Amino acid sequence: MIHLSTLASQACGLSTSHLVSYDHVFIHSAIRRDLCAMSEAAKQAGFTFNIASAHRDFHRQCLIWNNKVEGVRPVLDGKNEPVDLSLLTPQACVHAIMFYSALPGASRHHFGTDLDVYASNCLPAEQQLQLESWEYEQGGPFAEFNDWLSENLAEFGFFRPYQRYQGGVAAEPWHISHRLSATGMMKALSVETLATVLRSHDVADKHTILEMLPTLYTQYIDNICE
Taking only the tens place, the pLDDT of each residue in 157-169 is 999 999 999 999 9
Cα 158 to chain center, whole Å? Answer: 14
Exposed e or buried b per residue across 154-164, where buried means at least 16 C-beta atoms within 10 angstroms of its C-beta:
eebbbebbbbe
Average pLDDT of the chain? Answer: 97
Q: Looking at residues 68-91, what average pLDDT do you find? A: 95
Quick one: pLDDT at residue 193? Answer: 97
Model confidence pLDDT, tens digit, residues 83-127: 999 999 999 999 999 999 999 999 999 999 999 999 999 999 999
At residue 109, the pLDDT reads 98
pLDDT of residue 2: 77
Residues above pLDDT 90, as percent of the chain: 97
Chain-centroid distance, C-alpha 22: 18
Per-residue pLDDT of 44-67, as tens digits, reads: 999 999 999 999 999 999 999 999
| 1 pLDDT higher than 70 | no
Neighbouring C-beta atoms of residue 63, cutoff 10 Å = 13
What domains appear along the chain, each with residue ranges and CATH number? 1-56+108-189 (3.30.1380.10), 62-106+190-221 (no CATH)
